[in-house]
Amino acid sequence: MKNFLNPIGVIHSVFKSRQDCPRQSAFSDKKAEIELFPEFEAGLKDLESFSHIHVFYLLDKSDSYSLSVQTGWTAEPKGLFSTRTPNRPTPLGYSAVKVNSINGKRIEINGIDAVEGTKVLDIKPYIPEIDSKKKAKAGC
């Protein structure tokens, strides 16, 4: 597992602290930017043909978790894995976001619940045929 974590860039965000962040990234219309480290720029080739991307990032402000989470959406606490709390055993952030533009190593995106300087671990193309679960149902 040595060198498993190899950040490829950082997120530039209007949110300067966790308290600024929206509950869910999709509820934010604030623009943000992913800036890849220069050595990874060539990996962005062809990404402009996708309207959306998956972004995976490190929630490194998170340093503890509980398996029982009071979300604010319901009176009863919920099991950790049925919530999107940032406090998780492996504090991995994830958002599917719209790509506005790509310029060199910079990707302008819409709506992400990450603070300024968050380290990006991976970007994958969003492929609607496999990623958009049109019949998915969510609990409350």
Best CA proximity match to 54, nearest among 123, 131, 8, 133: 123
> Phi and psi (nearest 5°) for 55?
-120, 130
- Does 137 participate in binding a second copy (rule CB under 8 A)? yes
Q: Is 103 in the site for a second copy (CB under 8 A)?
A: no
Q: Which of 8, 11, 32, 114 binds a second copy (CB under 8 A)?
A: 8
Contacts (CB under 8 A) with a second copy, residues 55-84: 56, 58, 60, 67-68, 78-84
From CA 36, how far away is CA 54, in angstroms rounded?
15
* Residue bearing tokens 């994830």: 94
Read off the amino acid at residue 9. Answer: G
**Total residues contacting a second copy (rule CB under 8 A)?**
64
Report the interface residues with a second copy, using CB under 8 A: 1, 4-8, 24-27, 40, 42-54, 56, 58, 60, 67-68, 78-84, 88-92, 94, 96, 98, 121-140
